[in-house]
């Protein structure tokens, strides 16, 4: 018969594969498993008639990082699944959930901060692809493109994060339907996850109706905090929704994330495309490459006919001018249609590329963004 100590060790090994959704580490590495106790089950539970396996009661004492953790149910379900996978005995799980002591939590956060030390996206060997979404002027749908592109990456299975770096005109919380603040672990913030995307925005702290009146140095500091004081793990993709134009935040992003790739969003008309070129020309003065151009609101499809409401050729003009000026190819990567649903679902808090169940749409705007996401990573 299997001994209880051996069962406890086997369960601990299985729990090492249970990952905390926020911190991206196993619950054992994080010290969240305070104790495991296995005892022989009483009564006729000692062996099952079906397979003859011995039965044991297994009590797992779990200490969450914060009381009332919103992911408590997710973690306990994963722990139950890990226990149920044990093949040599029938285990009856009992999960007792508490929270870490203040000292234990302080030690954990100190260890995590010491590991990161600074901006984690600049460390050698980082595999995160970083795309900064820029535009020359407002009103071209830059934030909508950012939100739907992030949701597309997440729906395709990539670990995806997004930073709302448009401090004055933050809009990602609304586009993702976020109304909560990040969890604060002794000064380290957990990004809010919505539609599979890890998010941070000043709008989560300031409130949707508050005006932000900050000068350049404080803007730079806000970006530094978003990068270094938030626990991102190591996402596959990080998107930044930049403020329009070539101001302080664009320069700060280039300095903090020299491995970022710029994606310029424009609309077809010259009044937008001429200004969009300037946002791409930032790459002449800072260490950042322009990955490509996205033309938004390219056409409106009505009864099978494409109506070019805002003219045509803006994206091509931007791509050609940036290619000439920068000395390498800057392709036109997508021409996205004008769709009322993009606005309607976005304002309701769901990216238009997703169905109500969070799955990626395979037609229309969903297919367009899927092609764009795949091309960006290619």
Tokens of residue 96, six digits: 């007792």
Task: Report whether 139 belongs to an annotated binding site.
Answer: yes
Task: Report whether 136 belongs to an annotated binding site.
Answer: yes
Task: Report whether 289 belongs to an annotated binding site.
Answer: no
Of 120, 140, 116, the closest CA to residue 130 belongs to 120
Q: Across the chain, which distance is largest between two alpha carbons, in Å? A: 81
Of 74, 79, 87, the closest CA to residue 60 belongs to 79
Task: Report whether 143 belongs to an annotated binding site.
Answer: yes
38 with 32: CB under 8 angstroms?
no
Task: Report whether 280 belongs to an annotated binding site.
Answer: no
Task: Report whether 245 belongs to an annotated binding site.
Answer: no
Q: Give CA–CA dist 29/40, Å, rounded.
A: 28
Would you state the torsion angle of the CA atoms of residues 167, 169, 170, 175, taken in this order, to the nearest 10 degrees? Answer: -160
Of 262, 238, 259, the closest CA to residue 318 belongs to 262
Q: Residue 218 contacts by C-beta under 8 Å, 6 or more apart in sequence? A: none
Q: Give CA–CA dist 138/143, Å, rounded.
A: 10
Task: Report whether 201 belongs to an annotated binding site.
Answer: no
Task: Report whether 142 belongs to an annotated binding site.
Answer: yes
89 with 53: CB under 8 angstroms?
yes
Tokens 């229309």 sit on residue? 364
Q: Which residues are annotated as a binding site?
A: 136-143
Q: Which residues are annotated as a binding site for ATP?
A: 136-143
């Amino acid at each position: 018969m299997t001994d209880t100590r051996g069962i406890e060790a086997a369960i601990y090994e299985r729990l090492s594969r249970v990952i905390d959704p926020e911190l991206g580490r196993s619950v054992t590495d994080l010290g969240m498993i305070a104790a495991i106790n296995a005892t022989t089950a009483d009564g006729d539970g000692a062996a099952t008639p079906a397979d003859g396996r011995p039965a044991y009661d297994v009590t797992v004492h779990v200490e969450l990082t914060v009381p009332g953790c919103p992911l408590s149910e997710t973690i306990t379900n994963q722990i139950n699944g890990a226990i149920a996978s044990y093949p040599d005995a029938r285990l009856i799980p009992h999960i007792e959930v508490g929270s870490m002591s203040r000292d234990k939590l302080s030690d954990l956060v100190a260890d995590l901060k010491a590991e990161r030390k600074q901006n984690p996206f600049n460390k050698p060997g980082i595999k995160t692809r970083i795309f900064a979404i820029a535009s020359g002027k407002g009103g071209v749908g830059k934030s909508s493109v950012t939100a739907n592109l992030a949701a597309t990456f997440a729906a395709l299975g990539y670990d995806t994060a997004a930073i709302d770096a448009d401090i004055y005109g933050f809009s990602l919380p609304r586009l993702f339907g976020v109304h909560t603040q990040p969890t604060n672990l002794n000064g380290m913030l957990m990004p809010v996850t919505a539609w599979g995307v890890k998010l941070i925005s000043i709008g989560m702290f300031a409130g949707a109706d508050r005006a932000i009146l900050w000068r350049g140095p404080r803007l730079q500091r806000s970006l530094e905090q978003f990068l270094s004081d938030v626990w991102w793990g190591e996402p596959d993709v990080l998107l930044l929704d930049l403020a329009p134009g070539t101001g302080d935040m664009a320069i700060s992003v280039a300095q903090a994330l020299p491995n970022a790739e710029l994606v310029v969003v424009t609309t077809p008309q010259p009044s937008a495309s001429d200004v969009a070129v300037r946002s791409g020309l930032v790459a002449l003065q800072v260490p950042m490459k322009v990955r490509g151009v996205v033309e938004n609101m390219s056409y409106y499809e009505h009864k099978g006919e494409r109506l070019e409401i805002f003219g045509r050729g803006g994206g091509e003009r931007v791509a050609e001018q940036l290619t000439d000026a920068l000395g390498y190819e800057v392709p036109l990567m997508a021409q996205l249609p004008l769709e009322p649903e993009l606005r309607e679902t976005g304002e309701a808090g769901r990216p238009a590329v997703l169905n109500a169940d969070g799955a990626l749409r395979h037609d229309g705007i969903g297919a367009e963004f899927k092609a764009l996401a795949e091309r960006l990573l290619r």
